[in-house]
Amino acid sequence: MSLLPLAAQMDEDALEDKLEAAKADLSDEYGQNHKYPWIIGFSGGKDSTLVLQLAMEMLLELPPSERKRTVHVVSNDTLVEAPVVADLVDRTLDRISDAVTAMRLPIVVAKTAPKVDQTFWVNLIGRGYPAPSRTFRWCTDRMKIQPTSHYIRSRVSENGEVILLLGVRRQESATRAVSMSRYDNGERLNGHNDLKGCKVFRPIVDFSTDEVWTTLLQRRPPWGGSHRDLVALYKDGQGGECPLVLSKDDAPSCGTSSSRFGCWTCTVVVKDRSMAGFIEAGHENLEPLMDFRDWLAEIRNDPARRSARRRNGQTTFLADGSLVPGPFTPTARREILDRLHQVERATGRTLITAAEIEAINRIWAEDAAAVVASVEATALEAVS
């Protein structure tokens, strides 16, 4: 007989019923008479972790002969993820990969990332884009939306349609609730507004935050270990995960006042509270990263570090006649790269890849050649 108080026992029973209902819903959808694969958007945060856990538990409860549809577990890596979060996600993905192989589950683990010519550093240091702001948030589309959207479209091309499982909940925030309403047609599956052939399935949409945490604290993940590191991550970072993003409307976490895990380079937020939380919790090695991020935000609007012309050679003026500054100057870009290398040496982490540096050098050479060509053209016009 349980020693829990009657009210607590009733709450526990209600949660168990809710979890079983969610798994039954998953099982019913999985058993539909078609071969459209599932794609689980996995950020490594609490909500996507619960969706993956319930999906794996459901698959394990099915006879092997009924596990006919492939499930893709897809995580997006912007290549500038907060190190503590990135390390946890990588460890979790490795465990999942090992587990699904041993269990012979039809699960494919994949990670998406921006193309080399669209990474944060290639755009900021190579092309001179100013550090992202609320009015010029160029990073979300290139680093988050495009890579995962490409993966989904590829699966649609192969299979005709896919079903995207997302760990979004109405209670998470008012903004997310409004965003979710775009996909709410009263049915279990909702067509995605931006991805043709992609249906959205939200298995935990009506779960509360307490119910999510209670489940993760009481149930071990099917891939082994525990959720202890995940709990510590939230406690230390004082925030929530930056979710899978497939459209700009799905990215309220960037630039809000909330404390969320995301890119350590994010200058859209005024202060990176999650990074500050990690440092206060004992991750002092991250302090050079936070200082560098703060410096990027500080120099973003420095006119001495910005060109007068945009990359297309044009100048832009506001209605009051003031000049809209262009990209970082070549000198400023080299300064940023030098300081980034200093941060690498201070932290012992590789923060920019050789492929990115190669792409940056190519862009710099093209920009220098364009300047020479412009000077020569001006000189010829003057002579003629």
pLDDT tens readout for residues 314-330:
777 767 777 778 999 99
The alpha carbon torsion through 28, 34, 36, 42 (nearest 10 deg) reads: 10
Query: Does residue 213 register a pLDDT over 50?
Result: yes
Q: Read off the pTM.
A: 0.86
For residues 143-155, give the mean pLDDT: 97
Q: What is the pLDDT of residue 116?
A: 97
Residue bearing the bigger pLDDT, 321 or 5: 321
CA distance 262 to 271: 13
H or E element: which one contains 342?
Answer: helix 330-347
Query: Does residue 361 register a pLDDT over 80?
Result: yes
Tokens for 287, please give them. Answer: 């302090």
Query: Does residue 222 register a pLDDT over 90?
Result: yes
CA distance 179 to 253: 12
Q: What is the pLDDT of residue 28?
A: 97
For residues 247-258, give the mean pLDDT: 48
Q: What is the pLDDT of residue 256?
A: 41
Query: Does residue 4 register a pLDDT over 60?
Result: no
Q: What is the pLDDT of residue 11?
A: 84
Question: pLDDT-derived band of residue 21, with 50, 70 and 90 as boundaries?
Answer: very high
Tokens for 103, please give them. Answer: 């269990």
C-alpha separations of 358 from 156, 364, 371 in Å: 33, 10, 20
CA distance 196 to 370: 40
Q: What is the pLDDT of residue 3?
A: 45
The alpha carbon torsion through 348, 282, 258, 109 (nearest 10 deg) reads: 60
Query: Does residue 254 register a pLDDT over 50?
Result: no
Q: What is the pLDDT of residue 292?
A: 98
For residues 74-94, give the mean pLDDT: 96
CA distance 326 to 308: 5
When the pLDDT of each residue in the chain is averaged and rounded to a whole number, the result is 88
For residues 3-29, give the mean pLDDT: 82
For residues 52-56, give the mean pLDDT: 98
Q: What is the pLDDT of residue 384?
A: 62
Query: Does residue 1 register a pLDDT over 50?
Result: no
Residues 6+ positions from 218 with CB-CB distance below 8 Å: none
What is the per-residue pLDDT across 273-314, written as a single tens digit (0 to 9) for each? 889 999 999 999 999 999 999 999 999 999 999 998 887 777
What is the per-residue pLDDT across 200-210, written as a single tens digit (0 to 9) for each? 999 999 999 99
Helix ranges (DSSP H) in the chain: 6-30, 46-61, 83-103, 120-121, 139-140, 146-159, 174-180, 209-218, 228-237, 273-280, 287-299, 330-347, 354-383
Strands (E), the chain: 38-41, 71-76, 107-112, 162-165, 189-191, 198-201, 240-241, 260-261, 316-317, 323-324
Q: What is the pLDDT of residue 141?
A: 94
Residue bearing the bigger pLDDT, 55 or 171: 55
Determine contact, residues 345/369, Cβ cutoff 8 Å. no
Query: Does residue 175 register a pLDDT over 70?
Result: no
Least confident span in 84-98, 181-195, 326-340: 181-195
Residues 6+ positions from 333 with CB-CB distance below 8 Å: 125, 126, 128, 360, 364
Q: What is the pLDDT of residue 181?
A: 54
Tokens for 364, please give them. Answer: 């710099």
DSSP 8-state code for residue 104: T
